[in-house]
Amino acid sequence: MDVEKIRWYGHDSFLIEDGKKVIYIDPWKMPSSAPKADYIFVTHDHYDHYSAEDIEKLSGENTIVFCPNDIAERLGERARSLSPEQTMLYDDIKIEAIRAYNIDKSFHPKENDWLGYIITVSDGTRIYHAGDTDFIPEMRDLETDIALLPVSGTYVMTAEEAINAANTFKPKIAIPMHFGDIIGDDNDAVKFGKGFKGKTVVKPVTH
């Protein structure tokens, strides 16, 4: 997949264009011009990741929302719930639910079963959105082409921890996220890019 088909809307919010399909991950503060979604992925229920207002704004008649179990209960028929380590095939995409949690802080407890995702799009590209997480053991053996990784610290990995994670599981391309809003700034993304041994793409914010 051409990395230009991935747009960043700030924080952890991304749009992935997969042919004619429009995929969002953690949409928040979305502009009115954003195209309608075929699929929406939500990593956990913090307000800056699960935004019912943005999900409603982006949803059409057939939009499906993939999410942890605690969110699926609120969304009704449009939701498809996933648990950690679960794999799901839906139309022409493969979805792998990866745990996302904190090791040395309590903002994202492991027992909440919150998620990151590996989404394999129609051309076979594997895209990993880590969600809000530290460098956890489950990352060590991941196989992914593109990794969207938090770098701001405080609630998630620092840039140094994200470098260590990425250099361990070795994606071809890494895109830093979770900076520039609430916590972190451009320096975190720059620092990550200097330390990651693969290719770093710092995306501009789409407005």
The residues facing 116 across adjacent strands are: 98
CATH of domain 3-200: 3.60.15.10
- What's the confidence (pLDDT) of residue 63? 97
What's the average pLDDT block by block, 10 residues per block, for the chain (207 residues)? 94 96 97 96 96 96 96 91 96 95 95 97 96 97 97 95 98 97 93 98 94
CA–CA distance, 13 with 167 (Å, rounded to integer): 23
- What's the confidence (pLDDT) of residue 1? 84
Take residue 54 and report the two structure tokens written for it.
């943005």
Domain locations along the chain: 3-200
How many other C-beta atoms lie within 10 A of the C-beta of residue 98?
23
Task: Give yes or no for a contact between 148 and 162, defined as CB atoms under 8 angstroms apart.
Answer: no
- What's the confidence (pLDDT) of residue 76? 86
- What's the confidence (pLDDT) of residue 98? 98
Q: Is the CA virtual torsion 87, 90, 93, 98 positive or negative?
A: negative
CA–CA distance, 84 with 73 (Å, rounded to integer): 17
Write down the mean pLDDT value for the chain.
96
Task: Give yes or no for a contact between 121 and 136, defined as CB atoms under 8 angstroms apart.
Answer: no
What's 152's DSSP letter?
B
- What's the confidence (pLDDT) of residue 127? 98
